[in-house]
Structure 1
């Protein structure tokens, strides 16, 4: 499988509490790690509000992309949870209580009742409200939730999960391993970098451009730093197929020296 055959993976974080700073996102770094463990990488991420129109617009674009997408947040049953409704609207589908979700939510209520918490009577108003968490766009499949059984849902390569990490992260792993195992470790990719000193970024930029022309599958990167009280430097590197990346890295080191940079910190 070539790099052009690989599916792009993206992340959507939904929640005003993230945008306002009341809560800090933890999903981004975790998904990056989970993908890396499987030889995959994250191709993009966006953070959006709970506003239904915003979610609908985002999901319409996202569903049309053909990407693998993980969406966290907004699938509960309170007024600020609009993701289930927005997904249905974006796809032009009705909403309906999923029978498997109904069964799992009832099991959760019964489990809680056995612990003296609530009732297993699903006709009670509070349990009827809980069943709303199993109302998904028609045609969706459930995503199991090992933490409390209340599932997320999957439709058109989009996996919708709660915002709670203890629930979302196992759902991410299950989805990657169950639905997208054929994407694991398909292309061998490495990343190499080194520090360059006494070198303005503008002077090495032509070499970075030439590198990507010579090795089309390799991406170059340049991350300048003021050195935090030490020596200013540039973190230069390459990402790509191992052999090509090694060749490109050697070229880049040579270019740094050729244009007057240093590979070691200057002496004080």
Structure 2
């Protein structure tokens, strides 16, 4: 399974709207993969550590967004170390990448590069990650993310950095998973129906055609269709066709008013 952990008080307070969930689903879908779960957590070290501990124990591929900077509210690097039971240390490759970025900034500003300056040392803090972690390249500013256990990946909160980094991880480390989450959906509109009347049929279809799943999306005030249910099935392509035919047959038997989309 694939999961997301999205970190930041600003998301929970509403000061910023999360954009990672929708984009992550898009990146996964482009590769025939599907998201299994997502969790939001504020800047609370204990809660972050608990979520990361669960992620490491789960066996899932997990992407964690946010909190890997070097400001006082960035706790993710330390929490990742605690969750993994390892110390933090300056990663040598991360150090070289960050120093290269600092040198580039000095050139852009027309000043001499000082490896001992407060700004340089502060940026180097972002390379202090759990011992044994692998780094994730950041094409935007070269300050890397990192991965633990080859499947729990830590990315910045900035979309311009995080999204290409997630794409890189999916293509370079998880290419074998491409196509494994590709599902097909078939559905119809059932007009004027109540979900309770359709539940027995839904249960029957799921029992007969497992692992195909039945979904029901009701609407009570559609401007054209009025009260209706978008009723369908989803699963592997070779399984969905038979389940959908059985669904239509069942709807016809109970006299449902259906129309295709």
- In the superposition, the TM-score normalised over structure 2's length comes to 0.95
**CA shift in 2, pair 1:184/1:95, >3 Å:** same
Compute the displacement of 1:120 (Å): 2.4
Render the CA deviation track for 1:82-108: whole Å, top value 9, x for unaligned: 000000011110000000110001010
Compute the displacement of 1:119 (Å): 5.2
Q: What is the aligned partner in structure 2 of residue 199 from structure 1?
A: 193
Compute the displacement of 1:227 (Å): 3.2
Q: What is the aligned partner in structure 1 of residue 177 from structure 2?
A: 183
Q: 2:256 aligns with which of 254, 257, 261?
A: 261
- Secondary structure (helix, strand or coil) at the match of 2:210 reads coil
CA distance in 1, matches of 2:110, 2:61: 38
- Secondary structure (helix, strand or coil) at the match of 1:115 reads helix
CA distance in 2, matches of 1:149, 1:50: 25
CA distance in 2, matches of 1:149, 1:99: 14
CA distance in 1, matches of 2:182, 2:96: 42
CA distance in 1, matches of 2:50, 2:34: 25
Q: What is the aligned partner in structure 1 of residue 80 from structure 2?
A: 87
Q: Does 1:113 align with 2:106?
A: yes
CA distance in 2, matches of 1:239, 1:225: 19
8 Å Cα contact 2:33-2:182 kept in structure 1: no
Compute the displacement of 1:186 (Å): 3.5
Q: 1:56 aligns with which of 41, 49, 68?
A: 49
Q: What is the aligned partner in structure 2 of residue 4 from structure 1?
A: none
8 Å Cα contact 1:109-1:119 kept in structure 2: no
CA distance in 2, matches of 1:146, 1:118: 24
CA distance in 2, matches of 1:188, 1:127: 45
CA distance in 1, matches of 2:55, 2:213: 25
Aligned residue pairs: how many?
Answer: 258
8 Å Cα contact 1:218-1:241 kept in structure 2: yes
Render the CA deviation track for 1:3-52: whole Å, top value 9, x for unaligned: xxxxx000000000000011111110111011111111000000001110
- In the superposition, the TM-score normalised over structure 1's length comes to 0.93
8 Å Cα contact 1:204-1:255 kept in structure 2: no
**CA shift in 2, pair 1:70/1:100, >3 Å:** same
- Aligned pairs (5 A) from 1:1-268: 8-116=1-109, 120-156=113-149, 157-186=151-180, 189-230=183-224, 231-264=226-259
Runs of 5+ in structure 2 lacking a partner? none
CA distance in 1, matches of 2:159, 2:59: 26
8 Å Cα contact 1:144-1:151 kept in structure 2: yes
Alignment root-mean-square deviation, CA: 1.4
8 Å Cα contact 1:196-1:235 kept in structure 2: yes
